[in-house]
């Protein structure tokens, strides 16, 4: 959430509470300012979408706190960011040594994006020239004993197939807490309490 969106949300809540707390105030005294705020928010959103300069003014720009492994003290002071806060945010990103960081970017949302030095990054299959198999997304086939027929249809299966798969776990689909089917064809099944 951008800062102006947060302010608008707080103001709407405050304006809505005024006519509710005092029955002597007409409800229109709350609705009109709320509609005006929503209109202003819509206008700001359109400016944000259409204009790069407007976006810089409204949302601000990301700030690079660590550039090529070196802490930018001027930017830290400008953003009122202490070394302790920087270390805390790095730990939240599973980085425990400032020396492992190539770039740290303070986003406009307040989140810190961390890019580690190449030798400190986690390895991925591409580093070894390995192309992993496509996994796809897992589908929920049963949730709390309710069969998800649309998901069965999406994977090209039917109730009889589901019944055979779940019987391997010695339960019926209706007795399952959850049954999922992943892109590799593996089934996860857990029975409801008392149905084991």
**What's the mean pLDDT in 35-47?**
88
Q: Is residue 196 part of a domain?
A: no
pLDDT of the residue at 129: 87
Name which of 101, 92, 91 is nearest 121 in CA terms. Answer: 101
- Do 55 and 48 form a contact (C-beta atoms < 8 A)? yes
What's the CATH code of the domain at 109? Answer: 3.30.240.20
- Do 176 and 190 form a contact (C-beta atoms < 8 A)? yes
Q: Is residue 100 part of a domain?
A: yes
Query: In terms of pLDDT, which residue wins out, 196 or 97?
Result: 97
| pLDDT at 23 > cutoff 60 | yes
Q: Name the helix (H) or strand (E) containing 187.
A: strand 187-191
pLDDT of the residue at 195: 60
Q: Indicate the residue among 36, 59, 82 that finishes a domain.
A: 59
What is the total count of domains within the chain? 3
pLDDT of the residue at 12: 82
CA atoms 149, 151, 156, 159: torsion sign: negative
Looking at the fold, whether 7 and 49 belong to one and the same domain comes out as: yes
Looking at the fold, whether 110 and 152 belong to one and the same domain comes out as: no
Rounded mean pLDDT of the chain?
Answer: 88
Q: Is residue 46 part of a domain?
A: yes
Q: Give the pLDDT confidence of 108-158 residue by residue, as tens digits.
A: 888 999 999 988 888 888 888 888 887 788 899 999 999 999 999 999 999
Enclosing domain of residue 24: 3-59
Query: In terms of pLDDT, which residue wins out, 91 or 23?
Result: 91
pLDDT of the residue at 24: 78
| pTM, full prediction | 0.60
Pairing of strands 176-181, 187-191: antiparallel
Q: Is residue 131 part of a domain?
A: no
């Amino acid at each position: 959430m951008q800062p102006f969106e947060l302010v608008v949300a707080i103001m709407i809540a405050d304006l809505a509470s005024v006519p509710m707390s005092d029955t002597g105030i007409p409800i229109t005294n709350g609705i009109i300012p709320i509609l005006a705020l929503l209109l202003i928010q819509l206008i700001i959103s359109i400016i944000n979408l259409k204009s790069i300069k407007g976006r810089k003014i409204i949302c601000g720009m990301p700030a690079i706190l660590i550039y090529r492994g070196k802490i930018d003290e001027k930017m830290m002071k400008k953003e009122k960011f202490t070394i302790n806060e920087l270390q805390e945010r790095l730990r939240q990103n599973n980085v425990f040594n400032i020396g492992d960081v190539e770039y740290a970017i303070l986003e406009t949302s307040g989140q810190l994006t961390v890019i580690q030095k190449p030798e400190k990054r986690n390895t991925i299959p591409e580093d070894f020239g390995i192309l992993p198999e496509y996994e796809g997304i897992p589908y929920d086939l049963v949730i709390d004993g309710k069969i998800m027929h649309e998901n069965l249809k999406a994977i090209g299966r039917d109730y009889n197939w589901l019944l055979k798969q779940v019987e391997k776990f010695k339960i019926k689909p209706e007795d399952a807490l959850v049954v999922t089917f992943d892109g590799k064809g593996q089934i996860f099944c857990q029975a409801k309490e008392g149905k084991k």
